[in-house]
Amino acid sequence: MMPIRRDIRFALPPDRACDWHVKGVPVTHFMNALSLLFPAGERFFMDSVRHYRDRITDPDLKKQVMGFIGQEAMHTREHVEYNDLLQAAGLPAHKLDKRLWAILNVQRKILPPSIQLAITIALEHYTAMLADTLLSDTGQRIDGSVDGYTQMWLWHALEETEHKSVSYDVWNAVIKPGPKRYLMRTGTMLLTTLLFWLIVFDYHVRLMFAHRRRHGRWKFGGMWNLVKFLYSPRDGVFPNIAKEWLSFFRPGFHPWDHDNRAVLGRIDGLLAKIDATNVRYAAQAAPRRVPLHPAASPAANPPAHPAAHSTT
Ligand SMILES: [Fe+2]
Ligand SMILES: [Fe+2]
């Protein structure tokens, strides 16, 4: 699977940053808390993979690494803008973003590159699992929410699926196989799981309280929706990712063992919808820059889809 860098912009109405999700404010802020992790987190992923780039001999994997870095760079750019909207809405987005940069910079300084890559493959497994959760029920976990935010999350989820094995394949290519590699991978997954959910929980709570101070109390129904969204045995986030999380501990695990490439067939339809939403949004003279897929060095990276580089 070759990841394709798509230079895409989204129409995110600033006045909906705190309640864009159809299930209300608490679910919105769960997703917003995840968004706050991307600028620092994805830079960490890119750096840890880039560190090993010269040791990769397989030309296909080298190209996939380029695509992976290109995609993550676009995700970061869009989530920086998204997070700025949260800041503008009176939430401590910049402070929380800075805090994560500080945590990850410490890890960069004290951990060897192999452990940094192990953290990356653990968190890339998380992004792949969460992406699959968002995509596998044909959008029911997000359908009916504000278009631009929905489209951005679906785009991110599809691209996370597209590149889900890249860092793992780099890991297999550059780290010597054996029991030590298995223990490093699985031990790091356990510690990363603990730290990841602690940070998500902390950021979510802080966003919720900042929201309450600024915009007033959230509704009880929204809290109940959050509980169902996360824990419902049928389609909650945690029950949904449990099996895939456990699969990471199989000695011969590979991200594509769970073959969900069928969902990638939705990319073209999504790009068309993004274009339509951006055109509609721009026509309303909406209060946010909507460059509508500006041309981005086509020579370096040919467009995968006409919509990806349209300048209309
Ligand atoms: Fe990403
Ligand atoms: Fe990723």
Mean pLDDT (whole number) for 196-224: 92
Q: How far is the CA of 72 from the centre of ligand 2 (A)?
A: 6
Question: Of residues 267 and 282, which shows the higher confidence score?
Answer: 267
Mean pLDDT (whole number) for 156-160: 97
pLDDT at 137: 67
pLDDT at 190: 98
Under a CB-based contact definition with an 8 Å cutoff, are residues 172 and 62 in contact? Answer: no
Give CA–CA dist 167/16, Å, rounded.
34
Question: Of residues 294 and 71, which shows the higher confidence score?
Answer: 71
pLDDT at 286: 59
Under a CB-based contact definition with an 8 Å cutoff, are residues 5 and 71 in contact? Answer: yes
pLDDT at 306: 36
> For 114-118, 187-191, 207-211, 296-300, which range has the lowest pLDDT when averaged over its residues?
296-300
Under a CB-based contact definition with an 8 Å cutoff, are residues 290 and 12 in contact? Answer: no
Instruction: Tell me the three state secondary structure of residue 297.
Output: coil
Give CA–CA dist 156/75, Å, rounded.
7
Q: How far is the CA of 57 from the centre of ligand 1 (A)?
A: 25
Q: Which ligand is nearest to the CA of 77?
A: 1
Is the pLDDT at 11 greater than 60, yes or no?
yes
Buried b (16+ CB within 10 A) or exposed e, 227-238: eebeeeeeebbe
Instruction: Tell me the three state secondary structure of residue 67.
Output: helix
Q: How far is the CA of 42 from the centre of ligand 2 (A)?
A: 7
Dump pLDDT digits (tens) for 23-78: 999 999 999 999 999 999 999 999 999 999 999 999 999 999 999 999 999 999 99
pLDDT at 254: 98
Q: Which ligand is nearest to the CA of 72?
A: 1
Q: Which ligand is nearest to the CA of 128?
A: 2
Q: Which ligand is nearest to the CA of 127?
A: 2
Under a CB-based contact definition with an 8 Å cutoff, are residues 75 and 159 in contact? Answer: yes
